[in-house]
Amino acid sequence: MTFSAELEAKLERVMKSCPPGRERSALVPMLLYAQDEVGAVTPEVVEEVSRRLGLSTLDIEEVVGYYSMLRRKPAGKYHLQICTNISCMLTGGTELWEHACRRLGIENKEATADGRFSLEEVECIGACSWAPAVLLNYEYRHNMTPEKLDRLIEDLRKLG
Amino acid sequence: MLYNEPSPLEVKVLTRRFGLPDSASIDAYLATQGYAGFRKALAMTPDRIIDEVKKSNLRGRGGAGFPAGVKWSFVPRGSPRPKYVVANADEGEPGTCKDRLLMENDPHSLIEGLLIAGLAVGAGAGYIYIRGEYRYIIEIMDRAIDEARARGYLGRNILGSGFDFDLYTHTGAGSYECGEESALLESLEGKRGVPRIRPPFPAVVGAFQCPTVLNNVETFCAVPAILRDGGAAFADLGTPKNGGTRLFCVSGHVNRPGVYELPMGFNLLRLIGEVAGGVRAGRKLKAVIPGGSSCPVLKADECDLPMDFDSLARAGSMLGSGGVIVMDETTCMVKAALRIMRFYAHESCGWCVPCREGTLWLSKLLTRFHEGRGEPGDIALISELARNMLGRTFCPLGDAAAMPILSFVEKFTDEFEAHVAQASACARRVS
């Protein structure tokens, strides 16, 4: 499988950071960066990473299974991750999460039929003082409310 | 960017560049005494650098509060193996959002802190292990590293000193456990983030089985000022044995939640009442988790105390990671305890049975309480389960889950008892 030039540049930087003989160190970044481009850690991605790092696919599978951000199936184009941990819970995060589920008609780790939106209930994302917080793909949205979330979803719908 | 208004009561040492135009750039950094601490360190022996850090009474800001200078002195400098410095930027303790701000607004202070540590222990390379969700921070840090390299602050023969040191970012991919130092090192090596048995500690056997200094981002960010202005000046800002300032992340039921830099030993009630604008809507304070969700909860009448490691320990809690979670009188403590326990059950890596099973069964029991299906013996059962986790795991996650729940059931027993009979008004879904 081939990756884009941009991803290859990123992976080259990762490989450079590994001490000699310690190429396995690149595994987690390589999987996440490949997922960003491909959409998921597919069997093809596992094969490719296995070839590049000289690891068995089993070695890779056991690592994929550990990390919560690594997924086997693609998320929606707009992946909304809503924190409901303690600081967000105290400031309306649970209600925000329930609102998002109702609004999009999907549950945790599901995507809408058109593949545009997906939802994930996440643990603390490090935005506690500006809670409740949402991650839209890798972008932070602070001090969210159901109304702000509705507007965000509308804006994203218009973007396509 | 800043996400909340600063407070006039703040004492800005680590955050003094926050809000300056283009504060993350090397030019802004150099214009404000950036890399001055490192230049000073270049003329010092490793022992003198470590002495200065010891003098500062800088204690680990990740949560454990171990003296940074002492930690550095454990690295066997005569070892023929390569040595590493690693910054823990896997900020994940619920209630904590300060390292993100430090890296976003002043990435070069982290680079300078790592450089000074590298010089002190004879390391040739360093890693900044950043949680996967902080993607934009990785980009900021990578840009700063490239700038520093282009200006001769990283790479070979730095500033003509003969010191070689390079620095890399490394992304995580979603795991609270990887914030634990030995699990972090496993992840850095491309493995599942399960903890290592200690001793040996990372100072002796760390990254790639080599001697490693591993500290929290905030700890490293304090180091440039310590070298620049002297350890004593930093120590004097705080209380005895608790040097300097620290970033407190106030969240929950206050009028002005935010991250505020204050001297160690700042009074907790003043932090809530004056710095963070008091409890929202004129309500009464009920409880505070003073240092991230792993710390035992304090009742309102226990909060008149100085925020330093030793005072919090005397009060039966911990200063932890600086995440001050404020709960007002409307908070259901059963619901809060349940949400926290669900988190630990989700994040337990499963390596140690007491933690894997304990967090799961505690979360089941608490769900039962929350839904009004608690039984009379359940409070005792919660205590028994939690006590059997304490001290019986390779890493502190087991204790981190057990300690707060014990404090919740002991200090708010009446609320738990009320849930035995019936589901409370708050008995709705807890995420």
Q: Which chain B residues touch A28 with a CB distance below 8 Å?
A: 170-173, 187, 190
pLDDT at residue number B374: 86
Answer yes or no: do A152 and A106 share one domain.
Answer: yes
Q: What is the largest CA-CA distance in chain B?
A: 74
pLDDT at residue number B77: 87
pLDDT at residue number B422: 67
Answer yes or no: do A53 and A83 share one domain.
Answer: no
Answer yes or no: do A84 and A153 share one domain.
Answer: yes
- Is residue B246 over pLDDT 70? yes
Banded model confidence at residue B307, pLDDT cuts 50, 70, 90: very high
Banded model confidence at residue B425, pLDDT cuts 50, 70, 90: low
Report whether B118 contacts B157 (CB < 8 A).
no
CATH of domain B26-237: 3.40.50.11540
ipTM: 0.98
Q: What percent of chain B has pLDDT over 90?
A: 94
pLDDT at residue number B424: 56
Answer yes or no: do A57 and A109 share one domain.
Answer: no
Ordered by start, the domain boundaries in chain B are 26-237, 245-328, 333-421
**Cα–Cα dist B160/B43, whole Å:** 12
The arithmetic mean of pLDDT across residues B169-180, rounded, is: 98
Residue A124 forms part of a structural domain: yes
- Is residue B429 over pLDDT 80? no
Task: Check if CATH label 3.40.50.2300 holds for domain B333-421.
Answer: no
Interval A31-82: pLDDT, tens: 999 999 999 999 999 999 999 999 999 999 999 999 999 999 999 999 999 9
Report whether A96 contacts A132 (CB < 8 A).
yes
- Is residue B257 over pLDDT 80? yes
Answer yes or no: do A83 and A130 share one domain.
Answer: yes
Q: Among all residues of chain B, which has the CA nearest to that of A17?
A: B168
The arithmetic mean of pLDDT across residues B373-389, rounded, is: 93
| Non-local CB neighbours of B333 within 8 Å, separated by 6+ positions | B286, B287, B297, B327, B408, B412, B415, B416
Interval A76-104: pLDDT, tens: 999 999 999 999 999 999 999 999 999 99
Answer yes or no: do A134 and A109 share one domain.
Answer: yes
Domain that holds residue A91: 78-159
Residue A73 forms part of a structural domain: no
Q: Which chain B residues touch A29 with a CB distance below 8 Å?
A: 170-171
Residue A72 forms part of a structural domain: no
Task: Report the number of distinct structural domains present in chain A.
Answer: 2
Among B306, B374, B288, CA closest to B338? B374
Answer yes or no: do A56 and A129 share one domain.
Answer: no
Task: Check if CATH label 3.40.50.300 holds for domain B245-328.
Answer: no
Residue A31 forms part of a structural domain: yes
Best residue in B85, B133, B165 for a mutation probing chain A (most A CBs within 10 Å): B133
pLDDT at residue number B428: 52
Could you tell me the sign of the dihedral formed by the alpha carbons of B26, B32, B37, B43, in that order?
positive
Q: Which chain B residues touch A20 with a CB distance below 8 Å?
A: none
Cross-chain residue pair B430–A98, CB shorter than 8 Å: no
pLDDT at residue number B97: 98
Q: How many CB pairs below 8 Å do chains A and B form together?
A: 164
What does the radius of gyration of chain A's CA atoms come to, in whole angstroms? 18
Cross-chain residue pair A98–B429, CB shorter than 8 Å: yes
Give the relative orientation of helices B333-347 and B413-421 as an angle to the nearest 10 degrees: 90
Banded model confidence at residue B423, pLDDT cuts 50, 70, 90: low
Mean of the per-residue pLDDT values of chain A: 97
Mean of the per-residue pLDDT values of chain B: 96
Beta strand A117-122 with A78-83 is: parallel
Taking the CA of residue B92 and the nearest CA in chain A, the distance in Å comes to 6
